[in-house]
Structure 1
Amino acid sequence: MKKAALQVATVFGAFTFLGVANATEIRTPLVPLPSIDDFTNGDGWGFGLGLAVEYETAYEGSDEYEFEADPAGGVQWRTGENIFFWAGEAVGWRTLVKDSWLFQTSIGYEEGREESDSEDGRLDGLGESDSGVAVLLEARYALTNDWRYFLDGRVSAGEIGTLGIFGAGTCLVCQADGTGWEVGAAVTFHDSKLANRDFGVTTQQYIDSGLPETDVDSGYRSTGVNVSYRNYLGQNWQIFGEALYEAFGSDVSDSPITRNDYEAEIGVGFIYVF
Protein backbone atom coordinates (compact mmCIF):
# COMPACT_ATOMS: atom_id res chain seq x y z
CA MET A 1 0.00 0.00 0.00
CA LYS A 2 2.84 2.43 0.83
CA LYS A 3 4.53 1.67 -2.50
CA ALA A 4 1.28 2.25 -4.40
CA ALA A 5 0.69 5.54 -2.57
CA LEU A 6 4.21 6.69 -3.44
CA GLN A 7 3.71 5.83 -7.12
CA VAL A 8 0.41 7.74 -7.24
CA ALA A 9 1.98 10.72 -5.46
CA THR A 10 4.77 10.74 -8.07
CA VAL A 11 2.23 10.73 -10.91
CA PHE A 12 0.24 13.50 -9.22
CA GLY A 13 3.40 15.54 -8.85
CA ALA A 14 4.10 15.28 -12.57
CA PHE A 15 0.53 16.28 -13.41
CA THR A 16 0.84 19.25 -11.05
CA PHE A 17 3.66 20.60 -13.21
CA LEU A 18 1.77 19.89 -16.44
CA GLY A 19 -1.39 21.52 -15.13
CA VAL A 20 0.41 24.72 -14.17
CA ALA A 21 2.23 24.81 -17.48
CA ASN A 22 -0.83 24.15 -19.67
CA ALA A 23 -3.63 26.00 -17.87
CA THR A 24 -4.87 28.86 -20.01
CA GLU A 25 -7.70 30.14 -17.85
CA ILE A 26 -7.91 31.03 -14.17
CA ARG A 27 -11.21 29.80 -12.78
CA THR A 28 -12.88 31.30 -9.73
CA PRO A 29 -14.32 28.57 -7.48
CA LEU A 30 -16.57 29.24 -4.51
CA VAL A 31 -13.71 28.26 -2.18
CA PRO A 32 -10.13 27.41 -3.19
CA LEU A 33 -10.12 23.85 -1.81
CA PRO A 34 -9.33 20.71 -3.86
CA SER A 35 -11.89 18.65 -1.90
CA ILE A 36 -14.77 20.96 -2.96
CA ASP A 37 -15.44 20.51 -6.66
CA ASP A 38 -16.66 23.56 -8.56
CA PHE A 39 -17.21 23.25 -12.32
CA THR A 40 -18.57 26.78 -12.67
CA ASN A 41 -16.63 29.89 -13.53
CA GLY A 42 -18.65 32.61 -11.90
CA ASP A 43 -22.43 32.67 -12.27
CA GLY A 44 -24.17 30.12 -14.47
CA TRP A 45 -24.12 26.42 -15.21
CA GLY A 46 -21.20 24.07 -14.77
CA PHE A 47 -20.94 20.50 -16.06
CA GLY A 48 -18.31 17.88 -15.34
CA LEU A 49 -18.19 14.31 -16.63
CA GLY A 50 -15.53 11.70 -15.94
CA LEU A 51 -14.49 8.45 -14.33
CA ALA A 52 -12.87 7.51 -11.02
CA VAL A 53 -11.15 4.25 -10.09
CA GLU A 54 -10.75 3.32 -6.42
CA TYR A 55 -8.89 0.58 -4.61
CA GLU A 56 -10.83 0.07 -1.40
CA THR A 57 -12.20 -2.41 1.13
CA ALA A 58 -15.13 -4.55 0.02
CA TYR A 59 -17.23 -3.38 3.01
CA GLU A 60 -16.79 -1.57 6.34
CA GLY A 61 -14.20 -3.44 8.41
CA SER A 62 -13.21 -5.84 5.64
CA ASP A 63 -9.73 -7.13 4.91
CA GLU A 64 -10.72 -7.84 1.30
CA TYR A 65 -9.77 -5.16 -1.22
CA GLU A 66 -11.08 -4.55 -4.71
CA PHE A 67 -10.99 -2.08 -7.58
CA GLU A 68 -14.18 -0.17 -8.33
CA ALA A 69 -14.91 2.22 -11.19
CA ASP A 70 -17.56 4.92 -10.76
CA PRO A 71 -18.76 7.93 -12.75
CA ALA A 72 -17.38 11.27 -11.61
CA GLY A 73 -18.48 14.86 -12.04
CA GLY A 74 -21.91 16.42 -11.79
CA VAL A 75 -24.19 19.28 -12.74
CA GLN A 76 -23.97 22.62 -10.92
CA TRP A 77 -25.64 26.00 -11.09
CA ARG A 78 -24.04 28.99 -9.41
CA THR A 79 -25.49 32.35 -8.48
CA GLY A 80 -23.29 34.66 -6.45
CA GLU A 81 -22.03 32.79 -3.39
CA ASN A 82 -24.40 29.85 -3.85
CA ILE A 83 -24.07 26.58 -5.77
CA PHE A 84 -26.85 24.08 -6.34
CA PHE A 85 -25.57 20.69 -7.44
CA TRP A 86 -26.42 17.16 -8.48
CA ALA A 87 -23.67 14.55 -8.19
CA GLY A 88 -24.23 10.81 -8.28
CA GLU A 89 -27.09 9.90 -5.93
CA ALA A 90 -27.13 13.25 -4.11
CA VAL A 91 -28.55 16.72 -4.70
CA GLY A 92 -27.65 19.70 -2.57
CA TRP A 93 -26.73 23.32 -2.00
CA ARG A 94 -23.61 25.02 -0.67
CA THR A 95 -23.06 28.66 0.18
CA LEU A 96 -20.20 30.90 1.24
CA VAL A 97 -20.95 33.35 4.07
CA LYS A 98 -18.67 36.31 4.89
CA ASP A 99 -15.78 34.66 2.99
CA SER A 100 -14.96 32.44 5.98
CA TRP A 101 -17.94 30.09 6.45
CA LEU A 102 -18.88 27.38 3.97
CA PHE A 103 -22.22 25.67 4.59
CA GLN A 104 -23.49 22.68 2.69
CA THR A 105 -26.60 20.54 2.83
CA SER A 106 -27.50 17.61 0.60
CA ILE A 107 -29.79 14.63 0.45
CA GLY A 108 -28.68 11.31 -1.01
CA TYR A 109 -29.15 7.57 -1.03
CA GLU A 110 -26.87 5.32 1.02
CA GLU A 111 -26.59 1.74 -0.19
CA GLY A 112 -26.42 -1.12 2.30
CA ARG A 113 -24.08 -4.10 2.54
CA GLU A 114 -24.82 -7.38 0.77
CA GLU A 115 -23.60 -10.88 1.59
CA SER A 116 -21.99 -11.07 -1.85
CA ASP A 117 -19.72 -8.12 -0.96
CA SER A 118 -17.39 -10.68 0.62
CA GLU A 119 -15.97 -13.07 -1.95
CA ASP A 120 -14.51 -15.12 0.93
CA GLY A 121 -17.98 -15.77 2.36
CA ARG A 122 -17.39 -13.85 5.58
CA LEU A 123 -20.81 -12.21 5.38
CA ASP A 124 -22.75 -15.41 4.74
CA GLY A 125 -25.83 -15.60 6.92
CA LEU A 126 -25.87 -11.88 7.76
CA GLY A 127 -28.30 -10.91 5.02
CA GLU A 128 -28.45 -7.42 3.57
CA SER A 129 -28.03 -4.35 5.76
CA ASP A 130 -30.45 -1.46 5.45
CA SER A 131 -30.26 1.13 2.67
CA GLY A 132 -31.90 4.51 2.89
CA VAL A 133 -32.00 8.24 2.35
CA ALA A 134 -29.62 10.41 4.39
CA VAL A 135 -29.37 14.16 4.87
CA LEU A 136 -25.89 15.69 5.16
CA LEU A 137 -25.17 18.98 6.93
CA GLU A 138 -21.65 20.39 6.78
CA ALA A 139 -19.90 23.55 7.94
CA ARG A 140 -16.32 24.65 7.30
CA TYR A 141 -14.67 27.64 8.91
CA ALA A 142 -11.56 29.27 7.44
CA LEU A 143 -8.90 30.16 9.99
CA THR A 144 -7.04 32.25 7.42
CA ASN A 145 -8.17 34.47 4.54
CA ASP A 146 -6.85 32.09 1.88
CA TRP A 147 -8.45 28.94 3.43
CA ARG A 148 -5.01 27.49 4.07
CA TYR A 149 -6.22 26.23 7.47
CA PHE A 150 -9.82 25.36 8.34
CA LEU A 151 -12.11 23.50 10.73
CA ASP A 152 -14.71 21.05 9.48
CA GLY A 153 -17.87 19.49 10.94
CA ARG A 154 -20.36 17.12 9.26
CA VAL A 155 -23.46 15.28 10.40
CA SER A 156 -25.25 12.69 8.27
CA ALA A 157 -28.64 11.50 9.52
CA GLY A 158 -31.33 9.31 8.03
CA GLU A 159 -33.05 5.96 7.98
CA ILE A 160 -29.82 4.05 8.54
CA GLY A 161 -28.62 6.10 11.53
CA THR A 162 -26.48 9.10 12.34
CA LEU A 163 -22.78 9.78 11.70
CA GLY A 164 -20.81 12.79 12.95
CA ILE A 165 -17.37 13.85 11.69
CA PHE A 166 -15.31 16.64 13.25
CA GLY A 167 -11.86 17.64 12.08
CA ALA A 168 -9.40 20.16 10.68
CA GLY A 169 -7.41 20.52 7.49
CA THR A 170 -4.77 22.44 5.65
CA CYS A 171 -4.35 23.28 1.99
CA LEU A 172 -0.84 22.67 0.67
CA VAL A 173 0.50 24.24 -2.52
CA CYS A 174 -3.06 25.36 -3.29
CA GLN A 175 -4.00 27.83 -5.98
CA ALA A 176 -6.86 30.31 -6.29
CA ASP A 177 -8.56 28.09 -8.90
CA GLY A 178 -9.13 25.30 -6.34
CA THR A 179 -6.24 23.08 -7.37
CA GLY A 180 -3.45 21.63 -5.24
CA TRP A 181 -3.11 19.31 -2.25
CA GLU A 182 -5.27 19.19 0.86
CA VAL A 183 -4.62 17.20 4.05
CA GLY A 184 -7.18 16.65 6.80
CA ALA A 185 -7.68 14.72 10.02
CA ALA A 186 -10.96 13.90 11.75
CA VAL A 187 -12.66 11.88 14.47
CA THR A 188 -15.92 10.08 13.74
CA PHE A 189 -18.87 9.17 15.95
CA HIS A 190 -21.97 7.08 15.26
CA ASP A 191 -25.25 6.30 16.98
CA SER A 192 -26.17 2.72 17.95
CA LYS A 193 -28.42 2.27 14.90
CA LEU A 194 -25.63 2.94 12.41
CA ALA A 195 -23.05 1.14 14.56
CA ASN A 196 -25.09 -2.06 14.60
CA ARG A 197 -26.01 -1.76 10.92
CA ASP A 198 -22.31 -1.91 10.05
CA PHE A 199 -20.78 -3.96 12.87
CA GLY A 200 -23.54 -5.58 14.96
CA VAL A 201 -24.78 -9.18 14.87
CA THR A 202 -28.42 -9.82 15.84
CA THR A 203 -29.74 -13.03 17.36
CA GLN A 204 -31.11 -14.19 14.00
CA GLN A 205 -27.82 -13.36 12.27
CA TYR A 206 -25.98 -15.34 14.97
CA ILE A 207 -28.20 -18.36 14.24
CA ASP A 208 -27.75 -18.03 10.46
CA SER A 209 -24.03 -17.14 10.35
CA GLY A 210 -22.48 -18.61 13.48
CA LEU A 211 -20.88 -15.28 14.35
CA PRO A 212 -21.26 -14.30 18.03
CA GLU A 213 -24.17 -12.04 18.84
CA THR A 214 -22.85 -8.48 19.11
CA ASP A 215 -24.37 -5.17 20.15
CA VAL A 216 -22.27 -2.06 19.44
CA ASP A 217 -22.82 1.05 21.56
CA SER A 218 -23.10 4.55 20.18
CA GLY A 219 -20.10 6.83 20.51
CA TYR A 220 -16.59 6.94 19.11
CA ARG A 221 -16.14 5.15 15.79
CA SER A 222 -12.73 6.03 14.32
CA THR A 223 -9.92 8.51 13.71
CA GLY A 224 -8.70 9.14 10.20
CA VAL A 225 -6.49 11.16 7.90
CA ASN A 226 -7.15 11.95 4.25
CA VAL A 227 -5.34 13.56 1.35
CA SER A 228 -7.12 15.22 -1.59
CA TYR A 229 -5.63 16.40 -4.86
CA ARG A 230 -7.03 18.28 -7.85
CA ASN A 231 -5.45 19.93 -10.87
CA TYR A 232 -6.25 21.11 -14.38
CA LEU A 233 -4.60 19.56 -17.43
CA GLY A 234 -5.03 22.33 -19.95
CA GLN A 235 -8.27 24.32 -19.90
CA ASN A 236 -10.94 21.64 -19.47
CA TRP A 237 -9.47 18.40 -18.12
CA GLN A 238 -9.13 17.79 -14.39
CA ILE A 239 -7.20 15.07 -12.62
CA PHE A 240 -8.15 14.36 -9.03
CA GLY A 241 -7.26 11.86 -6.36
CA GLU A 242 -7.85 10.92 -2.75
CA ALA A 243 -6.25 8.67 -0.16
CA LEU A 244 -7.80 7.76 3.19
CA TYR A 245 -6.65 5.88 6.29
CA GLU A 246 -9.11 5.22 9.13
CA ALA A 247 -8.27 3.54 12.47
CA PHE A 248 -11.28 2.03 14.26
CA GLY A 249 -12.05 2.40 17.94
CA SER A 250 -12.02 -0.65 20.22
CA ASP A 251 -15.79 -1.26 20.07
CA VAL A 252 -15.67 -1.47 16.28
CA SER A 253 -12.43 -3.46 16.20
CA ASP A 254 -13.90 -6.05 18.59
CA SER A 255 -16.84 -6.78 16.28
CA PRO A 256 -16.66 -10.21 14.56
CA ILE A 257 -17.51 -8.44 11.30
CA THR A 258 -14.35 -6.33 11.52
CA ARG A 259 -11.40 -8.21 10.01
CA ASN A 260 -8.93 -5.33 10.44
CA ASP A 261 -8.74 -2.57 13.02
CA TYR A 262 -8.30 -0.08 10.19
CA GLU A 263 -9.26 0.48 6.59
CA ALA A 264 -7.64 2.40 3.76
CA GLU A 265 -8.46 3.40 0.22
CA ILE A 266 -6.90 5.27 -2.65
CA GLY A 267 -8.49 6.59 -5.82
CA VAL A 268 -7.73 8.60 -8.93
CA GLY A 269 -9.87 9.95 -11.74
CA PHE A 270 -10.35 12.38 -14.60
CA ILE A 271 -13.15 14.86 -15.29
CA TYR A 272 -13.86 16.87 -18.41
CA VAL A 273 -15.28 20.28 -17.45
CA PHE A 274 -17.56 21.71 -20.12
Structure 2
Amino acid sequence: MKKLSGLLLIMFIQGVFSQISFAQDEQTALVPLPSVDDFTKGNDGWAFGLGLGIEYESAYEGSDEFGFEAQPAGAVQWRSGDDIFYFAGEALGWRGLRADRWLFDVAVAFDEGREEDDSDEGYLDGLGDTEEETELVLQTRYALDDDWRYWLVGRVVTGGEGNLGLFGLGYRFGYQLDGTGSEINLVGVFHDSEYANKGFGINAQQSAATGLPETNLSGGFRSFGIDYTYRYYLSDNWQIFGEALYEHFSSDIQGSPIARSDYEAEVSIGFIYIF
Protein backbone atom coordinates (compact mmCIF):
# COMPACT_ATOMS: atom_id res chain seq x y z
CA MET A 1 0.00 0.00 0.00
CA LYS A 2 2.86 2.33 0.87
CA LYS A 3 4.55 1.54 -2.45
CA LEU A 4 1.32 2.29 -4.31
CA SER A 5 0.91 5.57 -2.40
CA GLY A 6 4.51 6.49 -3.15
CA LEU A 7 4.04 5.68 -6.83
CA LEU A 8 0.89 7.80 -7.00
CA LEU A 9 2.73 10.68 -5.30
CA ILE A 10 5.61 10.48 -7.79
CA MET A 11 3.15 10.41 -10.69
CA PHE A 12 1.32 13.42 -9.24
CA ILE A 13 4.56 15.42 -8.84
CA GLN A 14 5.66 14.52 -12.35
CA GLY A 15 2.27 15.59 -13.67
CA VAL A 16 2.46 18.94 -11.88
CA PHE A 17 5.93 19.69 -13.21
CA SER A 18 4.91 18.57 -16.68
CA GLN A 19 2.02 21.07 -16.59
CA ILE A 20 4.34 23.81 -15.37
CA SER A 21 6.84 23.00 -18.11
CA PHE A 22 4.06 22.97 -20.70
CA ALA A 23 2.74 26.31 -19.46
CA GLN A 24 6.23 27.84 -19.65
CA ASP A 25 6.74 26.53 -23.17
CA GLU A 26 3.34 27.80 -24.20
CA GLN A 27 4.06 31.25 -22.77
CA THR A 28 7.50 31.61 -24.35
CA ALA A 29 7.75 34.85 -26.33
CA LEU A 30 9.72 35.20 -29.56
CA VAL A 31 12.35 36.96 -27.44
CA PRO A 32 11.89 37.60 -23.70
CA LEU A 33 12.07 41.40 -24.00
CA PRO A 34 9.24 43.59 -22.64
CA SER A 35 9.79 46.17 -25.39
CA VAL A 36 9.05 43.56 -28.09
CA ASP A 37 5.34 42.86 -27.65
CA ASP A 38 4.28 39.28 -28.42
CA PHE A 39 0.64 38.36 -27.83
CA THR A 40 0.91 34.85 -29.35
CA LYS A 41 1.92 33.17 -26.05
CA GLY A 42 4.21 30.87 -27.99
CA ASN A 43 1.51 29.61 -30.36
CA ASP A 44 1.45 29.76 -34.14
CA GLY A 45 -1.47 31.57 -35.76
CA TRP A 46 -3.35 34.79 -35.09
CA ALA A 47 -3.11 36.87 -31.91
CA PHE A 48 -4.88 40.11 -31.02
CA GLY A 49 -4.20 42.71 -28.35
CA LEU A 50 -6.28 45.83 -27.85
CA GLY A 51 -5.84 48.51 -25.22
CA LEU A 52 -5.22 52.13 -24.30
CA GLY A 53 -2.27 54.06 -22.98
CA ILE A 54 -1.86 57.49 -21.37
CA GLU A 55 1.29 59.45 -22.19
CA TYR A 56 2.76 62.48 -20.48
CA GLU A 57 5.29 63.87 -22.91
CA SER A 58 6.94 66.84 -24.58
CA ALA A 59 4.56 68.66 -26.93
CA TYR A 60 7.11 68.34 -29.77
CA GLU A 61 10.83 67.69 -30.15
CA GLY A 62 12.72 70.33 -28.19
CA SER A 63 9.63 71.67 -26.42
CA ASP A 64 9.52 72.81 -22.81
CA GLU A 65 5.75 72.26 -22.80
CA PHE A 66 4.31 68.97 -21.56
CA GLY A 67 0.88 67.42 -21.73
CA PHE A 68 -1.19 64.25 -21.48
CA GLU A 69 -2.34 62.32 -24.53
CA ALA A 70 -4.33 59.09 -24.92
CA GLN A 71 -2.99 56.58 -27.43
CA PRO A 72 -4.37 53.23 -28.63
CA ALA A 73 -2.24 50.21 -27.76
CA GLY A 74 -1.96 46.62 -28.95
CA ALA A 75 -1.50 44.89 -32.29
CA VAL A 76 -2.73 42.26 -34.68
CA GLN A 77 -0.10 39.55 -35.04
CA TRP A 78 0.37 36.34 -36.99
CA ARG A 79 3.09 33.95 -35.88
CA SER A 80 4.76 31.09 -37.69
CA GLY A 81 7.63 29.60 -35.72
CA ASP A 82 10.29 32.27 -35.28
CA ASP A 83 8.51 34.84 -37.47
CA ILE A 84 5.80 37.32 -36.51
CA PHE A 85 3.98 39.60 -38.95
CA TYR A 86 2.18 42.48 -37.27
CA PHE A 87 0.03 45.55 -37.68
CA ALA A 88 0.39 47.91 -34.72
CA GLY A 89 -1.29 51.29 -34.90
CA GLU A 90 0.71 53.18 -37.51
CA ALA A 91 3.20 50.42 -38.41
CA LEU A 92 3.06 47.30 -40.57
CA GLY A 93 5.98 44.96 -40.24
CA TRP A 94 7.77 41.67 -39.70
CA ARG A 95 10.15 40.49 -37.03
CA GLY A 96 12.08 37.26 -36.94
CA LEU A 97 14.49 35.40 -34.66
CA ARG A 98 17.54 33.82 -36.26
CA ALA A 99 20.19 31.57 -34.69
CA ASP A 100 18.57 32.26 -31.26
CA ARG A 101 20.56 35.49 -30.86
CA TRP A 102 19.63 37.68 -33.82
CA LEU A 103 16.31 39.55 -33.86
CA PHE A 104 15.46 41.38 -37.08
CA ASP A 105 12.58 43.82 -37.45
CA VAL A 106 11.42 45.59 -40.62
CA ALA A 107 8.42 47.95 -40.58
CA VAL A 108 6.74 50.60 -42.66
CA ALA A 109 5.62 53.31 -40.24
CA PHE A 110 3.69 56.57 -40.47
CA ASP A 111 5.05 59.80 -38.99
CA GLU A 112 2.40 62.43 -38.24
CA GLY A 113 4.89 65.30 -38.46
CA ARG A 114 4.61 68.53 -36.47
CA GLU A 115 1.89 71.18 -36.50
CA GLU A 116 2.09 74.82 -35.44
CA ASP A 117 -0.63 74.35 -32.85
CA ASP A 118 1.41 71.64 -31.08
CA SER A 119 2.69 74.56 -29.01
CA ASP A 120 0.04 76.10 -26.78
CA GLU A 121 2.35 79.07 -26.21
CA GLY A 122 2.64 79.82 -29.92
CA TYR A 123 6.35 79.04 -30.16
CA LEU A 124 5.83 77.30 -33.53
CA ASP A 125 3.73 80.07 -35.11
CA GLY A 126 5.05 80.97 -38.55
CA LEU A 127 7.13 77.81 -38.93
CA GLY A 128 4.36 75.96 -40.76
CA ASP A 129 3.49 72.30 -40.44
CA THR A 130 6.01 69.59 -41.26
CA GLU A 131 4.68 67.06 -43.72
CA GLU A 132 3.27 63.70 -42.74
CA GLU A 133 5.41 60.94 -44.20
CA THR A 134 5.92 57.21 -44.45
CA GLU A 135 9.19 55.82 -43.14
CA LEU A 136 11.04 52.53 -43.37
CA VAL A 137 12.33 51.31 -39.99
CA LEU A 138 15.07 48.66 -39.94
CA GLN A 139 16.13 47.26 -36.59
CA THR A 140 18.28 44.44 -35.29
CA ARG A 141 19.25 43.20 -31.85
CA TYR A 142 22.02 40.77 -31.04
CA ALA A 143 21.98 38.91 -27.71
CA LEU A 144 25.35 38.75 -25.96
CA ASP A 145 24.28 35.69 -23.94
CA ASP A 146 21.86 32.77 -24.29
CA ASP A 147 19.01 34.20 -22.21
CA TRP A 148 18.94 37.73 -23.66
CA ARG A 149 20.28 39.33 -20.49
CA TYR A 150 22.44 41.75 -22.49
CA TRP A 151 22.14 42.77 -26.13
CA LEU A 152 23.29 45.25 -28.75
CA VAL A 153 20.68 47.21 -30.68
CA GLY A 154 20.81 49.11 -33.95
CA ARG A 155 18.04 50.97 -35.78
CA VAL A 156 17.85 52.96 -39.01
CA VAL A 157 14.90 55.19 -39.98
CA THR A 158 14.83 56.23 -43.62
CA GLY A 159 12.49 56.88 -46.52
CA GLY A 160 11.14 60.23 -45.33
CA GLU A 161 13.11 63.47 -45.05
CA GLY A 162 16.59 62.35 -44.14
CA ASN A 163 17.98 59.45 -42.19
CA LEU A 164 18.38 58.64 -38.51
CA GLY A 165 20.46 55.93 -36.85
CA LEU A 166 20.41 54.59 -33.30
CA PHE A 167 22.95 52.30 -31.64
CA GLY A 168 23.09 51.08 -28.06
CA LEU A 169 23.19 48.44 -25.36
CA GLY A 170 20.30 46.87 -23.45
CA TYR A 171 19.83 44.91 -20.21
CA ARG A 172 16.88 42.77 -19.11
CA PHE A 173 15.77 42.38 -15.48
CA GLY A 174 14.10 39.21 -14.20
CA TYR A 175 14.01 35.69 -15.62
CA GLN A 176 10.58 35.47 -17.29
CA LEU A 177 10.38 33.99 -20.77
CA ASP A 178 6.92 35.35 -21.64
CA GLY A 179 8.03 38.88 -22.50
CA THR A 180 7.14 40.39 -19.13
CA GLY A 181 9.40 42.07 -16.60
CA SER A 182 11.47 45.13 -17.40
CA GLU A 183 14.44 46.25 -19.45
CA ILE A 184 16.62 49.28 -19.94
CA ASN A 185 18.42 50.60 -23.04
CA LEU A 186 21.23 53.15 -23.35
CA VAL A 187 21.59 54.55 -26.87
CA GLY A 188 23.37 57.10 -28.99
CA VAL A 189 21.45 58.73 -31.85
CA PHE A 190 22.84 60.15 -35.11
CA HIS A 191 21.19 61.89 -38.05
CA ASP A 192 22.06 63.47 -41.38
CA SER A 193 21.61 67.19 -42.08
CA GLU A 194 18.25 66.72 -43.82
CA TYR A 195 16.75 64.93 -40.83
CA ALA A 196 18.28 67.46 -38.42
CA ASN A 197 16.80 70.44 -40.25
CA LYS A 198 13.40 68.78 -40.57
CA GLY A 199 12.91 69.16 -36.83
CA PHE A 200 15.24 71.97 -35.82
CA GLY A 201 16.22 73.97 -38.90
CA ILE A 202 14.80 77.37 -39.90
CA ASN A 203 14.88 78.37 -43.56
CA ALA A 204 14.69 81.91 -45.01
CA GLN A 205 10.92 81.88 -45.40
CA GLN A 206 10.38 80.68 -41.83
CA SER A 207 12.87 83.24 -40.55
CA ALA A 208 10.98 86.06 -42.29
CA ALA A 209 7.67 84.86 -40.84
CA THR A 210 8.89 84.41 -37.27
CA GLY A 211 11.81 86.77 -36.81
CA LEU A 212 13.97 83.84 -35.73
CA PRO A 213 17.47 83.58 -37.21
CA GLU A 214 18.03 81.20 -40.11
CA THR A 215 19.37 77.92 -38.81
CA ASN A 216 21.01 75.25 -40.93
CA LEU A 217 22.23 72.21 -39.02
CA SER A 218 24.80 69.68 -40.15
CA GLY A 219 24.56 65.95 -39.63
CA GLY A 220 26.29 63.94 -36.92
CA PHE A 221 25.61 63.20 -33.28
CA ARG A 222 22.05 64.07 -32.28
CA SER A 223 21.55 62.85 -28.70
CA PHE A 224 22.02 60.16 -26.13
CA GLY A 225 19.06 58.52 -24.47
CA ILE A 226 17.84 56.08 -21.87
CA ASP A 227 14.63 54.06 -22.20
CA TYR A 228 12.96 51.86 -19.56
CA THR A 229 10.13 49.44 -20.41
CA TYR A 230 7.90 47.40 -18.07
CA ARG A 231 5.29 44.74 -18.88
CA TYR A 232 3.26 42.45 -16.58
CA TYR A 233 0.34 40.02 -16.93
CA LEU A 234 -2.45 40.85 -14.47
CA SER A 235 -4.32 37.75 -15.63
CA ASP A 236 -4.38 35.40 -18.61
CA ASN A 237 -5.86 38.16 -20.76
CA TRP A 238 -5.00 41.49 -19.14
CA GLN A 239 -1.57 43.06 -19.42
CA ILE A 240 -0.20 46.30 -17.97
CA PHE A 241 2.71 48.13 -19.58
CA GLY A 242 4.72 51.25 -18.95
CA GLU A 243 7.62 53.18 -20.44
CA ALA A 244 9.87 56.06 -19.46
CA LEU A 245 12.14 57.76 -21.98
CA TYR A 246 14.73 60.54 -21.69
CA GLU A 247 16.69 61.98 -24.63
CA HIS A 248 19.38 64.63 -24.09
CA PHE A 249 20.17 66.70 -27.17
CA SER A 250 23.62 67.57 -28.48
CA SER A 251 24.90 71.14 -28.31
CA ASP A 252 24.10 71.65 -32.03
CA ILE A 253 20.44 70.80 -31.44
CA GLN A 254 20.31 72.91 -28.28
CA GLY A 255 21.57 75.85 -30.32
CA SER A 256 18.46 75.84 -32.52
CA PRO A 257 15.81 78.47 -31.60
CA ILE A 258 13.20 75.69 -31.91
CA ALA A 259 14.79 73.76 -29.05
CA ARG A 260 13.47 75.49 -25.96
CA SER A 261 14.71 72.59 -23.82
CA ASP A 262 17.90 70.55 -23.95
CA TYR A 263 16.00 67.28 -23.60
CA GLU A 264 12.85 65.40 -24.54
CA ALA A 265 11.02 63.12 -22.09
CA GLU A 266 8.02 60.82 -21.99
CA VAL A 267 6.27 58.65 -19.41
CA SER A 268 3.42 56.32 -20.36
CA ILE A 269 1.25 53.62 -18.81
CA GLY A 270 -1.54 51.51 -20.25
CA PHE A 271 -3.51 48.28 -20.35
CA ILE A 272 -3.98 45.71 -23.10
CA TYR A 273 -6.58 42.95 -23.38
CA ILE A 274 -5.28 39.88 -25.24
CA PHE A 275 -7.95 37.91 -27.06
TM-score, length basis structure 1: 0.90
- Aligned residue identity for 1:134: E
Partner deviation per Cα, 1:155-208 (whole Å, 9 max, x = no partner) = 010122211000010001241111101011000011111110100000000000
SS in 1 for 2:206: helix
Residue 192 of structure 1 corresponds to: 193
SS in 1 for 2:95: strand
Residue 167 of structure 1 corresponds to: 168
- Aligned residue identity for 2:37: D
C-alpha separation in 2, matches of 1:210 and 1:39: 50
Residue 33 of structure 1 corresponds to: 33
Tell whether the 8 Å contact from 1:156 to 1:162 is kept in structure 2 after alignment: yes
- Aligned residue identity for 2:29: P
C-alpha separation in 2, matches of 1:206 and 1:161: 22
- Structure 1 alignment gaps of length 5 or more: 1-24
- Measure how far apart 1:97 and its partner are: 0.2
Residue 87 of structure 1 corresponds to: 88
C-alpha separation in 2, matches of 1:85 and 1:158: 20
Residue 257 of structure 1 corresponds to: 258
C-alpha separation in 2, matches of 1:161 and 1:118: 24
Tell whether the 8 Å contact from 1:200 to 1:215 is kept in structure 2 after alignment: yes
Show structure 1 runs of 4+ deviating over 2 A.
none
Residue 76 of structure 1 corresponds to: 77
- Measure how far apart 1:130 and its partner are: 2.2
Residue 17 of structure 1 corresponds to: none
For this pair of structures, how many residues does the alignment match? 251
C-alpha separation in 1, matches of 2:160 and 2:33: 31
Residue 102 of structure 2 corresponds to: 101
Residue 179 of structure 2 corresponds to: 178
Tell whether the 8 Å contact from 1:130 to 1:160 is kept in structure 2 after alignment: no
SS in 1 for 2:100: coil
C-alpha separation in 2, matches of 1:93 and 1:174: 26
- Aligned ranges 1:111-260 → 2 under 5 Å: 111-260=112-261
- Aligned residue identity for 2:51: G
SS in 2 for 1:116: helix
C-alpha separation in 2, matches of 1:108 and 1:226: 20
Higher relative contact order (CA 8 A, sep 6+): 1
CA-based RMSD of the aligned residues comes to: 1.1
Residue 267 of structure 1 corresponds to: 268
- Structure 2 alignment gaps of length 5 or more: 1-22
- Measure how far apart 1:89 and its partner are: 1.1
For the pair shown, the structure with the greater C-alpha radius of gyration is 2
- Aligned ranges 1:9-48 → 2 under 5 Å: 26=24, 27-41=27-41, 42-48=43-49
SS in 1 for 2:131: coil
Identity %: 58
Partner deviation per Cα, 1:41-72 (whole Å, 9 max, x = no partner) = 22111100000100000000000001010100
- Aligned residue identity for 2:28: T
SS in 2 for 1:251: helix
- Aligned residue identity for 2:190: F
